[in-house]
Amino acid sequence: MPAMPRLDVYPLTGRTGIRAAGEVSLPTRDIWERALERAVREGEDVYYLELSALTFVDVAGAGALADAARRLGGQRRLVLDRPPPGLSRILGLLWPGLPAIEVSTS
């Protein structure tokens, strides 16, 4: 029997945001959406999502991210720090030009 997918979310130290590790898929979607809701609620101008330890993000998970970005309003933005390549491609194809999402690859 395959292992159940996991998604672990931790607060970042030194800047506002979270680190996500694992995968975003149907079994972990609630965890992902709660983390994004926190980003919207916190009200910071810049909220960092450190995503280098994500192994997979499904289309619905990318959609939840796009939805959170649209709900930020004003000049606020989400900075995706080293997202998996598939996430950047999905966002570019299905939600191009979202001004509230910035991708950082360094």
Backbone angles phi, psi at 49, to 5 degrees: -115, 105
Q: What are the pLDDT digits (tens) for 54-82?
A: 999 999 999 999 999 999 988 999 999 99
What is the structure's pLDDT at 105?
80
Task: Please state the pTM of the whole predicted model.
Answer: 0.93
Copy the structure tokens of residue 65: 């991210």
Average pLDDT, the chain: 94
Q: What percent of the chain has pLDDT over 90?
A: 87
* Average pLDDT over every residue of 77-89: 95
Domains of the chain, CATH where assigned: 7-104 (3.30.750.24)
Q: What percent of the chain has pLDDT over 70?
A: 99
Q: Is the pLDDT of residue 5 over 80?
A: yes
Amino acid at 20: A
What is the structure's pLDDT at 74?
81
Judge whether 24 and 54 are in contact, CB under 8 Å: yes
